[in-house]
Structure 1
Amino acid sequence: MELLLAVVAGALIGLSLGALGGGGSILAVPVLLALGQTPAQATTGSLVVVGVTSLAGAVAARRAGSVLLARGIAFGAVAIGGAVAGARLSSAVPEPVLLAAFSAMMLVVAGLMTVRQLRSRRRSRDHAAPVERPQLDDPIITFSPTFMCQCPRALKVLVTATVVGLLTGFLGVGGGFLVVPALFLALALPMRHAAGTSLVVITITSAAALAARAGAGVVPDWRLVAALTITAVAGSVLGARLAARTDTTRLSAAFTGLVLTVAAYVAVQALPALV
């Protein structure tokens, strides 16, 4: 029964990561908790699931032409510091607090996804003209032939990347719900490229956070982690192909409802221990 739940959940995680460029990783921790793992084990095991799945999804998205590798690596490199800090901080926080923080974050994710969906529907209904955006090759900082800095964009990238890294290290999630809009707004990537490129970022931050947790003495059930990872990888490949061919609006709406449900479950688990 445990393995069956891990397989089903892994497929959902992979589909969301591949199709939406993030969000699915937020399910890995609650699933591992439901399978009997402690919060520390769940957040550590989640990093493996998220990192490997994002890597597979990034490879598939790269083949589909929706990944800007250099920008993804640069954003991920900036986020490493936050990932390491978050991983170290998680070991010093009581497990009930960790669970409560995770539940609160899930509510924020669901809220952000709902706002995004409403805005998308409003734009479609109003037939609004597209907003002028910088070109894909428009640099943020250049040193030659003269120094130039688009400092507001650079600051936005720095802050967002650091927050993404902190969330990844602290809670064992990928932070794709922040990476995708950041790549869209700060780096002017079209949504198709932002979703694919975010998988590169998530792979880097997950690996950094997992390395920072090594030697902390937290050992998850690798059998469950492997089952989640294998099915999530298969789902991410399918999700990346789905994103290139279909409208993912309905999938995003359904996923938002699922996130709200899981957030309530995690809150029920955390609140009694905090009182």
Structure 2
Amino acid sequence: MTLFAAAGLGLVIGVILGGLGGGGAILTVPALVYLLGQSPQNATTSSLIIVGATAVVGAAGHGRAGNVRWRTGLTFGVTGIAAAVAGSLANRHVAPRVLLLGFAALMVVTAAGMLVQGRRGSRGDPPDAAGSPLGGGPGGSVGLARVVPGTRTRATVKLVAAGLAVGFLTGFLGVGGGFVIVPALVLVLGLPMSEAVGTSLVIIAINSLASLVARTGYDHVDWATTVPFALAAMAASLAGRKAADRVPETVATRAFAVLILLVAAYTAVHTLTGP
């Protein structure tokens, strides 16, 4: 029964991660804790395996479609490695109740960001390269080398800060951080959404690997649950990428934001009222 439950949950997470490039991973830990019975610390480790493996498969699919900025992804990912290790070390010293409440708070912030993004999308696309303060080339993509003086420095600082934040969150909570990465790539570098999603998966894979290395020998992994979950998520991530081309982005984002809010509410109530 656990095998089928893990595989089913993996399919759901994989579709979301492959389609949105972020956000799907944030549901992995609550699913492992409340539906599959893992402890919060062990769930964050299992989540890193699931999310990291799924991100690799998703990035490969987006890469074949030409939707990955490899240099940007590698630079962003490497920036967050030290923070990912620090987050993994901090995870060992936090009480399970505090960890779950932190998760609930993060889910609320994530959902709010998604709803704001969806509201902006409903009013039209963001300004193109010609109207962007960052400047850029075709398709709204830019490079830091083409940013006007002053703006380039601010953009670099924002990217480094985002890379460190994502790395720490990945190590501490076992999430991919795509809900931070994708907006950073779109708003700071001006990448089109399709390329931001693909590139975010490269970053998620790097941070997940760094966090797992830092946890080696400390946390138990329930392989009987984690492996089928990860395999199903990896397979479904490809379907998620194709589904994203058929579902309006605003609709998908708003629906998922509502789901995250419901899970956040359940997590907070269960944690505060539980034994």
* TM surpasses 0.5: yes
* Post-superposition offset of 1:134: 2.6
Question: Which letter does structure 1 place at the counterpart of 2:20?
Answer: L
* DSSP 3-state at the match of 1:150: helix
Paired with 1:68 and 1:246, the residues of 2 have a C-alpha distance of: 24
* Post-superposition offset of 1:246: 4.5
Q: Is the 8 A contact 2:33 2:40 kept in 1?
A: yes
* DSSP 3-state at the match of 2:144: coil
1:194 alignment partner in structure 2 = 196
* Post-superposition offset of 1:150: 1.8
* Post-superposition offset of 1:242: 2.5
Q: 1:69 to 1:18 in 2, by over 3 A?
A: same
Q: Is the 8 A contact 2:58 2:234 kept in 1?
A: yes
2:24 paired with 1:24: yes
Q: 1:140 to 1:5 in 2, by over 3 A?
A: farther
Paired with 2:69 and 2:127, the residues of 1 have a C-alpha distance of: 25
Paired with 1:141 and 1:82, the residues of 2 have a C-alpha distance of: 28
1:75 alignment partner in structure 2 = 76
2:265 paired with 1:259: no
Mark the runs of 5 or more structure 2 residues left unpaired by the alignment: none
1:225 alignment partner in structure 2 = 226
| Corresponding pairs, count | 266
Superposed CA RMSD: 2.1
2:144 alignment partner in structure 1 = 139
Mark the runs of 5 or more structure 1 residues left unpaired by the alignment: none
Which 10-residue stretch deviates more, 64-73 or 133-142? Answer: 133-142
**Structure-1-length-normalised TM-score:** 0.90
Paired with 2:269 and 2:150, the residues of 1 have a C-alpha distance of: 51
2:269 alignment partner in structure 1 = 268
Paired with 2:51 and 2:157, the residues of 1 have a C-alpha distance of: 27
Q: Is the 8 A contact 1:140 1:149 kept in 2?
A: no
Paired with 1:77 and 1:249, the residues of 2 have a C-alpha distance of: 31
The runs of at least 4 aligned residues of structure 1 exceeding 6 Å deviation read none
Which 10-residue stretch deviates more, 172-181 or 226-235? Answer: 226-235
* DSSP 3-state at the match of 1:58: helix
* DSSP 3-state at the match of 1:174: coil
* DSSP 3-state at the match of 2:170: helix
Which 10-residue stretch deviates more, 53-62 or 26-35? Answer: 26-35
* Post-superposition offset of 1:257: 1.7
Paired with 1:44 and 1:246, the residues of 2 have a C-alpha distance of: 32
1:103-182 to 2 correspondences below 5 Å: 103-123=104-124, 130=128, 131-132=131-132, 133-135=134-136, 136=141, 138-140=143-145, 150-182=152-184
Paired with 1:192 and 1:8, the residues of 2 have a C-alpha distance of: 26
Q: Deviations over 1:99-127 (max 9, x none)?
A: 11011101111111111111111226xxx
Q: 1:158 to 1:224 in 2, by over 3 A?
A: same
Percent of aligned positions that are identical: 43
Q: Is the 8 A contact 1:141 1:148 kept in 2?
A: no
1:207 alignment partner in structure 2 = 209
Paired with 2:52 and 2:146, the residues of 1 have a C-alpha distance of: 29
